[in-house]
Amino acid sequence: MTSITGLRPGCSPWPTPWAPSSSWRNVSQPKTLFTGTSGRSRAGTRSEKLVPNRIERATALPVDLFGDEAVFELEIADIWHQDWVFACTVDAVAEPGEHVPVMIGRQPVLMVRGDDFQIRALANVCSHRGTPLVDCAGRLSRFSCPYHAWTYGLEGDLLSVPYALPAEVGHADHGLESFLVETWHGLVFVSLNPDVEPLSTRVAAVEPYIKPLGLDRLHHDVAATMSEQWDANWKLIFGNALDSYSHFRVHAETVEPVSPTDGSYYLAGSARATVTGGESMERADHLVVSLPPSFVAVIYPDALVWQSVRPLTVGRTEVTTGVAGEESDAGTVVSLPGWDASFIDEDRAICEQVQRNVSARWRPGPLLELERALGDFHAYLAWRLSDVAPEPPVVAAEPGSRPEPPL
């Protein structure tokens, strides 16, 4: 049972498309060509030409970066094919054989729980002629290609090839490629890069704030997970998800009454991850954790609402929203009193409005102290696209406390 006003249930495919309730320019530049994961050496001189000193912690991103095709290709190669990307929740693949097809950048991936209860990320591509194996979440004991019925086990091993002559196909050589998987408090992340830093390193600065909340006990309401496509760049949407500054204006009747703008505060963070806090009417303060490039969550002691982004094109993004709560005899209880899910439509509307302005001439303005988390995201982009080394995490307040108010 999910008690968040207006949240619409989904059905079996993952993520489930939902019908939107609210209602660029393509820069003519050469496209980046790459196969699979991109090497970091690719970022060097190319990124310097595209984003030289243009991403700053203290100012807004230039809007043309939301519509630049060449920058978008750079991001796919050097962010989405190199870093940790949120894939699904542990509860979406709770039992052996349960699987969820996802896209990591441009790589089709199949998240699956094996008979050994391990979660794996397998290439959702038949090793024969590249056909997608699965296009919908479900539960199977094996995966059979819809084209020629090459069949694979839950660990990606090739089991059978119809009509093959003896020794014609070496089964051991044609299993499904696998990718790195790590979990964090019921969330599953994947990286196509075998040399990516451990996820524990990525979340180290925010873990002391998150761990005491005991999120592992929460159950994700998979049926309530929803997805839609927004006509806006992924960076714009991710930055908006961090933005408590907009509550009083964009969400005056939906979020501001339960999470006021002037009640938000910064706790700790860096380019790797950020955690902020905020007052919540009639309950304990909430936390907002962001793990770029793909995941943001609002966390309460007994519930959370999360959002992930997946770039489709330079001006179009898949946005998925999910919730988790405590289990009861009646099912999952997600208690978010006062929340109205129409805030999602409000976020979509403002993001799409900004996206329509990507060809405008303007001088990016300064970020306020309220937007400090957005500055961390800018530092992340500079790290991944321009090899600017992340600074040590900033700690504004210890876990369980609030920062001192500014003078």
**Can you tell me the distance from the alpha carbon of 114 to that of 129, in angstroms, rounded to the nearest whole number?**
24
Q: Which long-range contacts (CB under 8 A, 24 or more apart) does 92-97 make?
A: 92/14, 92/137, 92/188, 92/220, 92/222, 92/225, 93/119, 93/188, 95/139, 96/154, 97/139, 97/140, 97/141, 97/154
User: Taking a C-beta distance cutoff of 8 angstroms, is the pair 163, 139 a contact?
Assistant: no
pLDDT score, position 36:
36
Query: Angle between the 234-241 and 372-386 helix axes, to the nearest 10 degrees?
Result: 150
Q: Is 226 helix (H, G, I), strand (E, B) or coil?
A: strand
Sequence-ordered list of residues with C-beta below 8 angstroms from that of 4, at least 6 positions apart, any chain: 305, 323, 334, 336, 339, 340, 341
Torsion angle, alpha carbons of 306, 76, 46, 354, to 10:
-50
Architecture of the domain delimited by 2-83+203-395: Alpha-Beta Complex (3.90)
The token duo for 303 is 């519930």
Q: Does domain 87-182 have CATH number 2.102.10.10?
A: yes
CA angle 167, 172, 174 (to 5 degrees): 90
Q: Based on the number of CB atoms within 10 Å of its own CB, is 395 exposed (0-12), middle (13-18) or buried (19 or more)? A: middle
Torsion angle, alpha carbons of 12, 17, 19, 24, to 10:
180
Q: Is 191 helix (H, G, I), strand (E, B) or coil?
A: strand
Regarding beta strands 2-5 and 331-340, do their DSSP bridges make them parallel or antiparallel, or are they unpaired?
Answer: parallel
Report the DSSP beta bridge partners of residue 96.
none
pTM for the model: 0.88
pLDDT score, position 110:
98
**Binned average pLDDT, 10 residues per bin, the chain of 407 residues:** 43 36 26 34 50 81 92 96 98 98 98 98 98 97 97 98 94 97 98 98 97 93 94 98 93 90 95 95 87 96 94 98 88 75 93 94 93 97 92 94 80
The token duo for 12 is 């079996």
Residues found in the chain: 407
pLDDT score, position 51:
60
pLDDT score, position 27:
26
For CATH 3.90.380.10, the residue range(s) in the chain are: 2-83+203-395
Of 331, 307, 344, 347, nearest to 2 (Cα)? 331
Q: Is 361 helix (H, G, I), strand (E, B) or coil?
A: coil
For CATH 2.102.10.10, the residue range(s) in the chain are: 87-182
